[in-house]
Chains A and B, each alone.
Chain A
Amino acid sequence: MPGQPIKALLDFFSNIWLGVTLLVILFVYCSIGSAGVPTRLNIFAPAAWRHVRTARGIELTEFEWFHWWPFDLIIALICITLTVTTIRRIPLKVINLGVWMIHSGIIILALGSVIYFGTKVEGDSPVARRQVEIKLPDGQTRSLMVKPGNQVSLVTQSGRYTFQITSIDPQWELLSGADKGKKTYSVNLSVQTPQMQFIRQLIAGFPQYTEDLIRTDDPNQPFQRAVKATGTPLVDDTLDITLAYNPEKHFYLVNTRAIYLRTLGSREWIERPIESMPRFNEYFSSHDDVWLASNDLMPRLDPIDIAVPSVDEHDPLAGVDLHVTGFLPYAFEQTRRIPGGATLDPLVRLRIENTSGGVIRQELAAFDPASHSDAEGLLHFVWADSPAAVERFQEIRDPLLTIRIPEMSIEINHAISETTALNPELEFTIIEGTDFSFRVNNFQDGLSIRPGITDSLAIIEIQSPEKTFTRWVFADPKFTRDLPMQDVMGGHDEEIPVDDRIITTYTPGRRPAPLTIVAGPREEDLHLLTTLSPGTVSFQQIRVGEKIEFAPGNSLTVESYHARTKMVTKPAITPRAQRDPQMTAFLSMLRISLPDSGQVQSTWLGYHHYPFASGDETLRRFAYQPALLTLADGRRIEIMFSRQRRLLPAAVALDDFRIDTHIGGFTGQTSSILDWISLVRFQDKDGWTEPMEVRVNAPQEHRGLWFFQAQWDPPDPPRFQGDVGSNGLNYTVLGVGNRNGVAIQLLGCCIAVFGMIFAFYVKPILKRRHQTAVLARPTDSQAESELEENAALPEREPVTVGMEESP
């Protein structure tokens, strides 16, 4: 019969056990997808849990795991079972209203979720606060994003103009005028014109208060307002400099990947989305492509080849497919020295064992200041280019302080053998025939003053007839300076003018490190120089692989030695133990291959959270390192690995950014912050919309998309020598997303809640009324006892939500 299979199917779907089975499957699916599976008995240890979804071959994010087809199938089957069972097995009567509401609520929720997740777009958009727009007298224009230290130089016929953002105050308080007391964003721009140098202060929202600051000769007040000195606020009004919004047109989708290309010199990046690429495991075709993590198991070779075709007609390589041929979830580019090559650049790998069985491995490169000795300075690797140099390395000489009093033609040489660092009671040495005396506090050789510059210094205390002061005597006299005596609390020292009545020079001592490995003068020569016992130097030949006991129980073995090496840059895989799970994607790298005139060019690309147009436009804390490919035909293509982007319905600008704080203001800790507030404006045909306040928990909608407060720019001290620190608040990151179907989801949830309340609390009252009605009929003691006995006869009374088994 034709109806038979349909009936069988309906019977199948109206079985509660099927529903129960599906719920169990859903439970298991959710559990292994979310927590993963434990691989150790101690389930409290984070390392015990392995995610199923991150396994090789699956590679799904949480979002993807819960939208994968098996999940959709389980939910669809649950919905079918719910529908069929409810309609076929539960009569639609008032008493069953609860279960009907619960089941239909869940189905409505599922339908709402199909709409919601089916159309979900989610990303984020970084919006910088302002850019400086510069118009030169000759009509040239240029804009410069406002971020600490940003600078630009422009050449005109009359000469060069240089502009640099020297400081930004995000909370500048207006001190005069009608707007006194208001806080706003102020930018100080250092301006160097062919004629003069000054600082122009630009105040966001108040162009009328723009003014210049000019240098003075007063060391206490190096700058003063131009209006006070010259009577006019601007010293050069031929320069038109204003602050303007820095609008953002795109938002970048979460958990997506894309390649961006452009011809060198052009500004716009052209996107190529990468669909379905691994996320959590290493994929590469040769161990030679990477630096392997030393302590981890050798990762297996698992090549991939994912074509990334062009989708944009402006693509500089339109029609040519790029290929992703490698992926590393945790890696960073690293340059290492390896044997081979033509350059003399000696390298040794050592193994040192101590009495207690501890083993230290060390790699030293003789010509590299960063790695020619160990951290403690106990071990040193040097190259001697001549037998004389070998001799010199064995020489021991105390550091020398030379003091000259020009007025009295006195010069003394003082070999430094004692310091106050070792002997705090050290007496001052009187310079005979003068009122000066001195003592040495400490000395330090090979001190790194700033990147690339090292020098040696002695710190001495000088007693002059008037006072006692500290002098830092450098080997290079131009660094020598005087400081007042440190106070007991170790307060900050202000430099004082160098007292030129007493001239000092410092000659660093020479003492080989306790263990010095000397290579040369012939490339195969390798010797160990030890100065472990005072005053004695031992010098012995080293054979590679041979253990040398330099002190009882302590030995050194040179495992390898190469005089000629070369530098190679490759991605270094982060050891598993050092992978921060929070940094997923940020540390990933992919290898891109490009067919080029019959050859294949390959390069590794590091991940960029946003494809910024240039280094100047890169927000603080984000990377900008595009790779450059030179094709056989001479074209030069820039390439970057980032995320997919979408156009916003309208460009968004950041008018203002504020933080609300708890009592005591912002202390540098997040816990002192109450709220972050971005005041945003959208571009429309008439200009900019009225400002809208986007704060945490209070998003704003504009043309179908919702904007959330996602990240901020906290204050950030200088990160390296020469870096300009930031007071923060120069940009915001807005979360951007749609929310289609949320109302339907909510409706379903609410119906289900009412259904539950009805089933659990209203239905029993209805039933009890029914029972009372039965009892109220002709007094019948038998009926009462029947009802009481029902308690012990469960089969005769449906339980809880009231789904009765069909007979």
Chain B
Amino acid sequence: MIFRRLSRLIISFMMSAMLAHPATAQVDGSSTPNTDTFADQVDLSAFGTIAVHSRGRVKSFDSFTSEMMQFVCGTRRIDGQSPSFTYLDLMLRPERYIDRDVIFIRMKMIRTQIALALRTAGAAQDIPDFEDRMERFLKSGLISESLLRRDSVQMLLNRLRADIIRTSSKVEAIESAINVKNPEFLRGSLAVVPASAGGTEDAWLTLDALSGSVSHNHDENQQDQSLEEQLVHQWLAFVSSWQQGDAPGVNAAGAQLASLLPLVNPDLYPAQSRLSWESWYFRVKNMTWVWIIYLFSIIPLLASMAYRWPAARWIGMGLFVIAFGLHTFAVMLRWYVAERWPNSNMFEAITTAAWFGGCFAVIIELLVRHTPMRSLFALGSAVASMVALMATRLWPLDLRADISNMMPVLHDLWLYIHTNVIIFSYCLIFLASVTSGLYLVRRIWFALRGQNGSSDFVSVGGAGSLIATRSDGTNYLANTKTTFGQVLDGSTMILMELSFILLWTGLVMGAIWADHSWGRPWGWDPKEVFALNTFIIFALLIHVRIKVKDKGLWTALLAIVGCGVMLFNWIIINFAISGLHSYA
């Protein structure tokens, strides 16, 4: 049976993918092993939840450092340290990092060119273990600031900067890494003190700024003054303990700061629970590892279809429900932490779209529980969610998990509905491609065995009726004659019809928003055009299905083409062809 082989193939592929998954293994970016126990003894659990004002948002320190350190070392961890530790260490003991390989260069071509430039400039003569170091650099992408500042590398970067289309943004990323790493910048960015008597419009201060001003303000309110003095005192203790490598001192001062800072202006300070959850959310890597549970649900679900094992089905559904539950928790947590619905950047669009697919799958699985379609939608949703969450792990620098404010132009009810409806329809299109893919595999199997499958499709008008229960309690597909091909084709049609309506509605809502935001409902932006193109493919599907004899085959093919156009819109248009839309 084809499905047996297929499931084996998929299982072995996924296992190998898991083992080779780069994001699951932490790369140690250092050139020397960590022998510093200071890092192990420092406890930033309290300090990690202090509030930092950054880019118009108040976030937890752990969330903030996770975002900032990506600019320096990408997704790499320096000596296995947490981003929060690395941030503070770069800030307070910068001398340790001048010649350490901590700056991440993403593009392999640039790594090769830098290594070549250093080699031809004779860097091997004055750098110990030059070849080993370059080998590690080419592999991990981490290099030191001192090497980047060498004339030969600077000349190379100047040349690359001139190419605006291909490499200038990469050189800018390297420069911003050097700038962010600068201790002055790190200190200046750490705005953790709310204006003591101010409102929401007043700027937050750094503890350094507070230290500078506190000694001059003797006529201030006595209580505030003493609090500020305490803050400054603890901050200076924190800094000096850190610089001396005194972990207990750091821990004590850090905990003190965490308890004192909210008192500066309790009205402005975010709730401690939100900050703690935000820190937790970033410490557990945004829960994107849930993709593994989705993967483990796919395996028995496929097996249940191939072998018709009820047990496999129950295990698969059980795992799917667990994965979806965790996924739901992650989406809700992000909603709570960000204080807005998570759909304003690529990371959120992808994970939320996949979550919509999960919601849909749960509802429809309840409807089809007595039909042969059962567990198909869960399977489709598991694949969609797995791919989405895996993508965020594979390309963390393109799909950044940072929580930031929405652009002013996105604050609009219509836009909210528009984006959610569109990403929901996109997820359904992906689900339809899963059932279509299975259908095509089945047809290929038929073709290989010389069987004709051209009549293997459902023939009712309006696929929604497939799941409707008849007056006698049975279901249209609950028939011994129903083939698996018909079940797959029917599922594709259910998904396709719903996504057809949602995509159209979403486009119209987008147009309503654009009309009052940009002054035109339709701007022929590449994003819009390819959403329309996706719709055209589904319009074609509907009309081709009317005319052709082999309806199942054509439906499956066009559903996959439609999914291809949708993914093209999401990936190529977003990353290669710029448009007005930031995501979706």
Task: Please give the residue numbers on chain A whose beta carbons come within 8 Å of chain B beta carbons, in ascending order.
Answer: 16-17, 19-20, 23-24, 26-27, 30-31, 33-36, 43-49, 62-63, 65-66, 116, 120, 122, 356-358, 575-582, 661-665, 667, 669-676, 696-699, 706, 708, 735-737, 739, 742, 745-746, 749-750, 752-753, 756-757, 759-761, 763-765, 767-768, 772, 788, 790-794, 797-803, 805
Q: How far is the CB of A410 from chain B (nearest CB, A)?
A: 42
A737 touches B165 (CB 8 A): no
Which chain A residues border B575 with CB–CB below 8 Å? 44, 46
Complex: chain B residue closest to A71, CB-CB: B524
Which chain B residues border A579 with CB–CB below 8 Å? 164-165
Q: How far is the CB of B38 from chain A (nearest CB, A)?
A: 24
- Show 11 residue pairs from A and B whose CB-CB distance is below 8 angstroms, ordered by the A residue: A20-B540, A578-B164, A662-B56, A696-B517, A753-B505, A756-B500, A756-B504, A757-B501, A760-B464, A792-B481, A797-B460
Complex: chain A residue closest to B579, CB-CB: A34
Q: Which B residues, 451 to 504, have Cβ-Cβ distances below 8 Å to chain A?
A: 455, 457-465, 468, 470-471, 476, 479, 481-482, 486, 493, 497-498, 500-501, 504
A120 touches B536 (CB 8 A): no
Q: Is B450 an interface residue (CB 8 A)?
A: no
Complex: chain B residue closest to A796, CB-CB: B459
B55 touches A675 (CB 8 A): no
Q: Which of B162, B486, B501 contacts A791 (CB 8 A)?
A: B486
Contact with A along B44-75 (1 / 0, CB 8 A): 00000000010111100000000000000000
Known: A34-B530, A579-B164, A800-B493. 10 other contacts (CB 8 A): A34-B524, A45-B576, A46-B576, A122-B520, A577-B162, A667-B53, A671-B404, A760-B464, A794-B459, A800-B545
B546 touches A803 (CB 8 A): yes
Most-contacted residue by chain A among B56, B508, B536, B544 (CB, 10 A):
B56
B515 touches A739 (CB 8 A): yes
Most-contacted residue by chain B among A43, A697, A788, A800 (CB, 10 A):
A800
Which chain A residues border B132 with CB–CB below 8 Å? none
Q: How far is the CB of A804 from chain B (nearest CB, A)?
A: 8
B530 touches A760 (CB 8 A): no
Q: Which of A357, A742, A799 contacts B461 (CB 8 A)?
A: A799
B546 touches A764 (CB 8 A): no
> How far, in angstroms, from A781 to B326 measured CA to CA in the complex?
50
Q: Which of A357, A674, A805 contacts B411 (CB 8 A)?
A: A674
Complex: chain B residue closest to A763, CB-CB: B462
Q: How far is the CB of A86 from chain B (nearest CB, A)?
A: 13
Complex: chain A residue closest to B471, CB-CB: A772
Contact with A along B526-548 (1 / 0, CB 8 A): 10011011001101101111110
Q: How far is the CB of B319 from chain A (nearest CB, A)?
A: 32
Known: A672-B56, A760-B497, A800-B542. A753 touches B517 (CB 8 A): no
B120 touches A669 (CB 8 A): no
Q: Is B521 an interface residue (CB 8 A)?
A: yes
Q: Which of B164, B462, B515, B529 contacts A30 (CB 8 A)?
A: B529
Which chain B residues border A63 with CB–CB below 8 Å? 523-524
Q: Which of A122, A578, A764 contacts B460 (CB 8 A)?
A: A764
Q: How far is the CB of A434 from chain B (nearest CB, A)?
A: 37
Most-contacted residue by chain B among A30, A357, A790 (CB, 10 A):
A30
A794 touches B457 (CB 8 A): yes
Known: A737-B520, A790-B459. A665 touches B121 (CB 8 A): no
The interface stretch among B198-206, B219-227, B240-248, B278-286 is B198-206
A35 touches B163 (CB 8 A): no
Q: How far is the CB of A795 from chain B (nearest CB, A)?
A: 8
Q: How far is the CB of A680 from chain B (nearest CB, A)?
A: 15
Which chain A residues border B218 with CB–CB below 8 Å? none
Q: How far is the CB of A72 from chain B (nearest CB, A)?
A: 14
B55 touches A791 (CB 8 A): no
Q: Is B407 an interface residue (CB 8 A)?
A: yes
Q: How far is the CB of B568 from chain A (nearest CB, A)?
A: 8
Q: Which of B165, B412, B461, B547 contacts A763 (CB 8 A)?
A: B461
Q: How far is the CB of A114 from chain B (nearest CB, A)?
A: 13
Most-contacted residue by chain B among A46, A765, A803 (CB, 10 A):
A46
10 closest A-B pairs by CB: A672-B56, A764-B462, A764-B465, A356-B120, A662-B56, A34-B529, A794-B459, A671-B55, A577-B163, A749-B508
> How far, in angstroms, from A767 to B470 measured CA to CA in the complex?
12
> How far, in angstroms, from A708 to B520 measured CA to CA in the complex?
11
Contact with A along B382-425 (1 / 0, CB 8 A): 00000000000000000000001101110110010000000000
Complex: chain B residue closest to A664, CB-CB: B53
Q: Which of A33, A48, A759, A798 contacts B576 (CB 8 A)?
A: A48
> How far, in angstroms, from A413 to B408 measured CA to CA in the complex?
65
Q: Is B441 an interface residue (CB 8 A)?
A: no
A663 touches B200 (CB 8 A): yes
> How far, in angstroms, from A33 to B526 measured CA to CA in the complex?
9
Which chain B residues border A790 with CB–CB below 8 Å? 459
B577 touches A46 (CB 8 A): yes
A27 touches B409 (CB 8 A): no
